Structure 1
Amino acid sequence: MMCGGTSATQPATAETQAIADKVKSQLEEKENKKFPVFKALEFKSQLVAGKNYFIKVQVDEDDFVHIRVFESLPHENKPVALTSYQTNKGRHDELTYF
């Protein structure tokens, strides 16, 4: 993956799920609702001064959100942060930069 460009879409891993779980409460607060399901399905990543993750998350049987999470460089010692999200997505909606 080149710096600045996004990777190809990949199936979510345990690490991807852990990253999504860390920002679940941030998304619930912004949307003012609780999600009964929060399952990462696939992701792209982007190297910047840290790493952006674009993650497709299933939040209900037929409801999906795309989240962008920023992970800072290790020496900065900062928690991951939800930086953007898109609601009303479907299972087959492509993950794109947003």
Structure 2
Amino acid sequence: MANKPGGWSDTMDTTEETQWICDQAKDQVEAFTGKNYVVYTAIKYRSQVVAGDNFLIKVDAGEDYDHLSVHRVLSCDGHRIVLRGVEQHRTKDYPLVPFTN
């Protein structure tokens, strides 16, 4: 849970919802990175409640790990998934920290 309103949660194991968000963002991630992912499995995440929800998601990408920054817009706007950024070539133990790119 977040320590304060609008703060980021602790890092948690992925859920079905987190994998679904990852799957929805996959085309955007592939366009951003120029890669076609065979292995693409969410393993950890953090969340932040804002006007919608922000997610930092650690993804097993096969040879290494990617970190995704994803925004899910409010339900009244259709719960669209918007990729905010990708950090590539991370390790399994590299911490999930907010980033922009």
TM-score by length of 1: 0.93
Question: How many residue pairs were aligned?
Answer: 97
Which whole-Å CA distance do the structure 2 matches of 1:38 and 1:52 have between them? Answer: 19
Specify which of 20, 36, 42 is matched with residue 18 of structure 1. 20
Which whole-Å CA distance do the structure 2 matches of 1:3 and 1:29 have between them? Answer: 33
**Residues 51-78 of structure 1: per-residue CA shift (max 9 Å, x gap):** 1000000111x31000011001111225
**CA, structure 1 residues 19+48, in 2 after alignment: closer, same or farther (shift >3 Å)?**
same
Q: Which residue of 1 aligns with 2:68?
A: 67
Question: Structure 1: which 5+ runs fail to align?
Answer: none
Q: Which residue of 1 aligns with 2:29?
A: 27
Tell me the SS of whatever aligns to 1:87.
strand
Give the deviation of 1:41 after TM superposition.
Answer: 0.3
Which whole-Å CA distance do the structure 2 matches of 1:37 and 1:72 have between them? Answer: 26
Give structure 1 regions of 4+ aligned residues with deviation exceeding 4 angstroms.
none
Which whole-Å CA distance do the structure 1 matches of 2:64 and 2:28 have between them? Answer: 18
Question: Structure 2: which 5+ runs fail to align?
Answer: none
Identity of aligned residues (%): 33
* Residue correspondence of structure 1 range 46-85 to structure 2 within 5 A: 46-60=48-62, 62-85=63-86
Q: Which residue of 2 aligns with 1:6?
A: 8
| TM-align CA RMSD | 1.1
